[in-house]
C-alpha cells in the first residue's frame, strides 16, 4: 500500500488529540498484555511525525509533546501494510534493527495492529511494547486485535456524532438562508402581483367586453394562486427555522368553527353540498389557543373537503374531553377519499395531492404539510382515516391550556386581552400586532421596530407589553 502522498484530513487530525475514551483502551491493553508501554498512534506523513493519541508508560517528555519523529515509529509500518507487526526482538529484525527508538527509549519487543479511521482507512496502530525480548502469544495478539476493533468503533461513533452536528448546523444555516430569501422574494413578488391585480380590476371596471372580462378573471385567478404559493413558501421557511410563533389568546373555539363554516357555506352551496357543524362542548367555554393558526387549519381542511367532494356533505364537529384536557375537532366529508399510499405521504411537502386529482383541485402541495406542522406547534396531533370512494375524516386533538366556565373569570380574561396596542402604521388598536403588520402592511416585526424607532426587544402583543411595562414601573 503506497502512502507517499498520504495526508491527514482535518477530521483525522482532530482525532489525533488526547481523548480519555482511548486512554481507557491503552490502559486495558497494557494491563491485559502485561506490557509496560501501550500506544494508540496516528501517522502524520506531511508533518513527519507520529502523533500519540493515547499513551501509557512513556517518558514525561513524550507525554508532554505527544509526538515522536516518524523515524522512531514502528507503527508507520503497521499503517503502511494495514497488517499486524510482530517483533520479538527488534534488534534482530533486518528492517527495524536501526530504529532510533531502540536506543532512545529502550524498546526491544513490539506488537501492533492497525487503527482505522474514516471510511476504514488505516491511520496508525494500537500497540504494546516491552523493554526486553518477548514472545507474544496468540491470545495476546487476539486481545490486542479486539481492543483495536473497539478503538475503530469508537472512532466511527465520534465521527458520526461530529458529522451529525455538522449536518445539523449546515441544515439550520440552509433553512435560515432559505427563509431570508423567501421572505425577501415574497415581498418583491407581492408588490408586482398587487399592481397586476389592481390593473386587472381596473380593466374589468372600464370594459364590459366579454372577452376582456374573461381575461381579467384569468389574471385574477392566477395572481391569487401565485400569492397563495408565496405565502405557503414563506410559512414553510418560518417553520423550518423555528421563527414561527404562537400566541396564547383566549377565545371560544366554537365561534371559530361557526365562522369557518359560514365563510365556506357559499362554496359548498355552489356544489350542492351540505356543510354542517355540531358542537359537543359546553357553552361559554373559553380556551387559550392561537386563534389565527386554529382558524387557518380548520378553514384549510374544510375548503379541501369541499374541493374534493362532488356530492353529499362536509361536517365539522368539536368535542371537549374535560378529564383528558383535550379538544377534538373533526372534519369529515363524503368525497373521493384516498388510498393508503397517498395517506402515508399526505403531510409531506409537495405530496398533498394525487397527481390526477391535483389537476382538478389545484394547490401547491404545501398546505397539508403546513397544517401538520402548525398543529405540532400548538402541541396537538392530526390523524386521518380514508378510503377510495369512502370519504375522508380528519381528527385534530389539541391540549387545553386553560378552560373557563365561570362568567366572572371569562370577563376578566376579556378585559386582560382587550385591544391595547395602537398600530403606528394605520392607528388600529389590537391585542397582537405581529400578524396585523405582516398581513395588512407587509412588514416584518424587525422592519416595523426599525421604522418607528422601537427597541429590538419591544414585544408586539399587549399581554407581553403589559408585563414589560409593569416590570419597568416596579424598578422605578
* CA–CA distances in Å: residue 29 to residues 73, 107, 126, 135, 289: 19, 17, 9, 16, 60
pLDDT of 62 higher than 50: yes
Q: Are residues 326 and 233 in the same domain?
A: no
User: Which is nearest to 432 in space by CA: 443, 422, 447?
Assistant: 422
- In this structure, of 217-231, 347-361, 391-405, 440-454, the range with the lowest mean pLDDT score is 347-361
User: What pLDDT is recorded for position 458?
Assistant: 65
The predicted model gives 266-295 an average pLDDT of 81
Q: How many domains does one find in the chain?
A: 4
| Ramachandran sector of residue 48 (left: φ over 0; alpha: ψ -120 to 50; beta: rest) | left
Q: Are residues 260 and 393 in the same domain?
A: yes
pLDDT in tens, 84-100: 999 999 999 999 999 99
Q: Are residues 226 and 295 in the same domain?
A: no
User: What are 22-27's contacts with CB under 8 Å, separation 24+?
Assistant: 22/53, 22/54, 22/151, 22/154, 23/54, 23/56, 25/54, 25/126, 25/147, 25/150, 25/151, 25/154, 26/54, 26/55, 26/56, 26/126, 27/56
Q: Are residues 325 and 394 in the same domain?
A: yes
**The domain containing residue 337 runs over which residues?**
249-404
| DSSP SS3 for 421 | strand
pLDDT of 240 higher than 80: no
Question: Are the C-beta atoms of 407 and 417 separated by less than 8 Å?
Answer: no
pLDDT of 475 higher than 60: no
Q: Which residues contact 231 (CB under 8 A, 6 or more apart)?
A: 186
Band of residue 349 on the pLDDT scale cut at 50, 70, 90: low
The predicted model gives 202-228 an average pLDDT of 81
Band of residue 107 on the pLDDT scale cut at 50, 70, 90: very high
127: its cell numbers? 500497540
Question: Which range has highest mean pLDDT (86-95, 115-124, 150-159, 381-390)?
Answer: 86-95
d(CA 228, CA 247): 23
User: What pLDDT is recorded for position 384?
Assistant: 87
Q: For all residues of the chain together, what is the average pLDDT? A: 78
pLDDT of 41 higher than 80: yes
d(CA 235, CA 374): 10
User: What pLDDT is recorded for position 457?
Assistant: 60
User: What pLDDT is recorded for position 159?
Assistant: 76
What is the rounded radius of gyration, in angstroms, for the C-alpha atoms of the chain?
35
At residue 194's C-alpha, the angle toward residues 295 and 212, to 5°, is 110
Exposure of 19 by Cβ count < 10 A (0-12 exposed, 13-18 middle, 19+ buried)?
middle
Higher pLDDT, 242 or 468: 242
User: What pLDDT is recorded for position 247?
Assistant: 62
pLDDT in tens, 324-333: 778 889 999 9
Exposure string for 325-352, b = 16+ CB within 10 A, e = fewer: eebbbbbbbbbbbbeeebbeebbeeeeb
Q: Residues of the chain with pLDDT > 90: what percent?
A: 29
The predicted model gives 3-28 an average pLDDT of 62
138: its cell numbers? 496468540
User: What pLDDT is recorded for position 178?
Assistant: 66
Tell me which of 240, 263, 287 is where a domain ends: 240
pLDDT of 78 higher than 90: yes
* CA–CA distances in Å: residue 411 to residues 40, 144, 247, 402, 441: 72, 76, 19, 15, 32
pLDDT of 287 higher than 90: no
For the entire predicted model, the pTM comes to 0.45
Q: Are residues 305 and 330 in the same domain?
A: yes
pLDDT of 129 higher than 70: yes
Strand partners, 56: 38
Higher pLDDT, 288 or 104: 104
Q: Are residues 273 and 392 in the same domain?
A: yes
Q: Are residues 232 and 253 in the same domain?
A: no
Residue 199 lies in a domain: yes
User: What pLDDT is recorded for position 128?
Assistant: 97
User: What pLDDT is recorded for position 80?
Assistant: 94
pLDDT in tens, 394-449: 999 888 754 433 343 344 444 444 435 677 777 777 766 777 787 788 787 777 77
The predicted model gives 229-250 an average pLDDT of 64
Element (H, E) at 29: helix 20-32
pLDDT in tens, 246-270: 665 666 778 888 888 998 999 999 9
Q: Are residues 223 and 114 in the same domain?
A: no
Residue 461 is part of a domain; what is its CATH number? 1.10.10.1550
Q: Are residues 199 and 296 in the same domain?
A: no
User: What pLDDT is recorded for position 244?
Assistant: 58
Tell me which of 136, 153, 178 is where a domain ends: 136
User: What pLDDT is recorded for position 434?
Assistant: 72
The predicted model gives 303-319 an average pLDDT of 90
- In this structure, of 65-79, 107-121, 168-182, the range with the lowest mean pLDDT score is 168-182
Tell me which of 136, 160, 185 is where a domain ends: 136
Q: Are residues 256 and 217 in the same domain?
A: no
Amino acid at each position: 500500500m503506497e502512502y507517499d502522498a498520504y495526508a491527514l484530513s482535518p477530521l483525522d487530525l482532530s482525532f489525533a488529540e488526547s481523548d480519555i475514551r482511548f486512554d481507557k483502551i491503552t490502559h486495558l491493553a497494557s494491563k491485559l498484555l502485561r506490557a509496560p508501554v501501550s500506544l494508540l498512534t496516528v501517522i502524520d506523513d506531511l508533518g513527519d511525525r507520529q502523533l500519540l493519541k493515547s499513551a501509557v508508560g512513556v517518558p514525561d517528555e513524550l507525554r508532554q509533546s505527544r509526538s515522536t519523529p516518524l523515524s522512531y515509529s514502528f507503527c508507520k509500518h503497521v499503517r503502511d501494510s494495514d497488517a499486524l507487526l510482530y517483533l520479538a526482538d527488534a534488534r534482530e529484525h533486518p528492517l527495524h534493527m536501526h530504529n532510533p527508538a531502540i536506543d532512545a527509549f529502550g524498546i526491544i519487543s513490539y506488537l501492533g495492529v492497525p487503527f482505522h479511521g474514516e471510511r476504514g482507512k488505516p491511520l496508525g496502530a494500537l500497540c504494546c511494547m516491552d523493554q526486553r525480548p518477548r514472545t507474544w502469544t496468540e491470545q495476546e495478539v487476539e486481545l490486542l486485535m479486539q481492543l483495536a476493533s473497539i478503538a475503530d468503533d469508537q472512532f466511527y461513533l465520534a465521527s458520526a456524532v461530529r458529522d451529525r452536528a455538522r449536518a445539523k448546523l449546515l441544515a439550520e444555516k440552509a433553512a435560515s438562508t432559505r427563509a431570508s430569501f423567501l421572505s425577501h422574494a415574497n415581498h418583491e413578488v407581492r408588490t408586482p402581483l398587487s399592481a397586476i391585480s389592481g390593473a386587472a380590476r381596473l380593466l374589468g371596471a372600464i370594459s364590459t367586453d366579454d372577452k376582456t372580462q374573461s381575461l381579467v378573471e384569468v389574471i385574477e385567478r392566477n395572481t391569487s394562486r401565485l400569492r397563495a404559493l408565496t405565502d405557503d413558501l414563506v410559512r414553510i421557511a418560518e417553520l423550518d427555522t423555528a421563527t414561527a410563533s404562537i400566541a396564547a389568546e383566549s377565545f371560544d373555539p366554537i365561534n371559530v368553527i361557526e365562522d369557518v363554516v359560514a365563510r365556506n357555506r357559499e362554496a359548498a352551496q355552489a356544489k350542492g353540498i351540505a356543510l354542517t357543524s355540531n358542537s359537543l362542548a359546553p357553552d361559554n367555554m373559553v380556551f387559550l389557543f392561537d386563534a389565527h393558526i386554529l382558524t387557518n387549519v380548520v378553514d384549510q381542511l374544510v375548503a379541501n373537503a369541499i374541493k374534493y367532494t362532488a356530492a353529499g356533505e362536509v361536517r365539522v364537529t368539536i368535542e371537549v374531553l374535560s378529564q383528558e384536557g383535550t379538544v377534538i375537532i373533526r372534519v369529515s366529508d363524503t368525497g373521493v377519499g384516498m388510498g393508503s399510499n397517498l395517506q402515508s405521504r399526505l403531510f409531506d411537502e409537495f405530496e398533498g395531492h394525487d397527481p390526477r386529482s391535483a389537476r382538478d383541485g389545484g394547490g401547491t402541495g404545501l398546505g397539508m404539510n403546513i397544517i401538520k406542522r402548525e398543529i405540532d406547534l400548538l402541541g396537538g396531533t392530526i390523524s386521518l382515516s380514508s378510503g377510495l370512494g369512502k370519504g375522508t375524516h380528519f381528527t385534530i386533538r389539541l391540549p387545553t391550556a386553560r378552560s373557563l366556565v365561570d362568567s366572572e373569570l371569562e370577563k376578566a380574561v376579556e378585559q386582560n386581552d382587550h385591544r391595547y396596542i395602537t398600530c403606528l402604521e394605520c392607528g388600529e388598536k389590537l391585542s397582537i400586532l405581529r400578524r396585523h403588520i405582516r398581513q395588512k402592511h407587509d412588514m416584518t416585526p424587525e422592519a416595523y421596530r426599525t421604522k418607528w424607532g422601537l427597541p429590538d426587544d419591544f414585544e408586539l402583543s399587549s399581554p407581553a407589553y403589559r408585563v414589560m411595562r409593569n416590570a419597568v414601573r416596579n424598578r422605578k
